[in-house]
Amino acid sequence: MLPLPKKFFLTAASSEGESELTAFDGALLKARVGNTNLLRVSSILPPGCIHEPELIIPPGSLLPIAYGAITCADPGETISAAVAVGIKNDSFGVIMEFEGKCGKEDAEAQVRKMVEEAFRIRKLQLDDVMVASTEHVVKNIGCAFAAVPLWY
């Protein structure tokens, strides 16, 4: 059985690269998760998980992470990624991710709306929402990345 993560933070960053993969890698590095092995998870924050914004993940770690990312090679295009964490005190939370060809404000509005709907369909009270987002105007090949890393 895998242990439940006990800590999390929200992060978002953008980068340019010479390829889509290096643009993605640069965004991961700026988001403080680039030297880890990402294990993409779906969108539930474990009960009792504590927000630690300055959390440092050891290099090489297998990192459970919910994220949204977009890469684009259309110069001048605006791309954004956002994540939101919905919190119900004394229960589990819900994480939503969004990426698209839009501005940061639109991306944030989308993830907030998705969190609200997720709580509504679960019939849970939404006590708090946390959001992280990034916006990037592509120069050559760009990436926008937003995530919620989960840690032990």
pLDDT for 15: 98
Task: Report how many helices (DSSP H) and strands (DSSP E) the chain contains, helices first.
Answer: 2, 10
- Judge contact between 143 and 136, C-beta under 8 A: yes
Whether residue 37 lies in the annotated active site: yes
Closest by CA to 29, choosing from 42, 16, 39, is: 16
Query: Is residue 19 included in any domain, yes or no?
Result: yes
pLDDT for 79: 99
What is the extent of the structural domain holding 146? Answer: 7-151
Whether residue 133 lies in the annotated active site: no
Whether residue 97 lies in the annotated active site: yes
Which one from 43, 80, 99, 133 is the annotated catalytic residue?
Answer: 43
Q: Is the pTM of this model over 0.95?
A: yes
Number of domains in the chain: 1
Query: Is residue 1 included in any domain, yes or no?
Result: no
pLDDT for 4: 94
pLDDT for 72: 98
Which one from 37, 77, 91, 117 is the annotated catalytic residue?
Answer: 37
Query: Is residue 2 included in any domain, yes or no?
Result: no
* pLDDT tens for each residue of 83-117: 999 999 999 999 999 999 999 999 999 999 999 99
Which one from 14, 15, 80, 97 is the annotated catalytic residue?
Answer: 97
> What CATH number has the domain bearing residue 43?
3.50.20.10
Amino acid identity at 45: L
Report the residue count for the chain: 152
pLDDT for 1: 80
Q: 1 to each of 21, 38, 44, how far by Cα in Å?
A: 32, 19, 17
pLDDT for 146: 99
pLDDT for 137: 98
* Distance between CA atoms of residues 28 and 13, nearest Å: 7
Residues 6+ apart with CB under 8 A from 2: none
- Give me the residues of the chain with pLDDT under 70, please: none
Query: Is residue 48 included in any domain, yes or no?
Result: yes
Whether residue 35 lies in the annotated active site: no
pLDDT for 51: 98
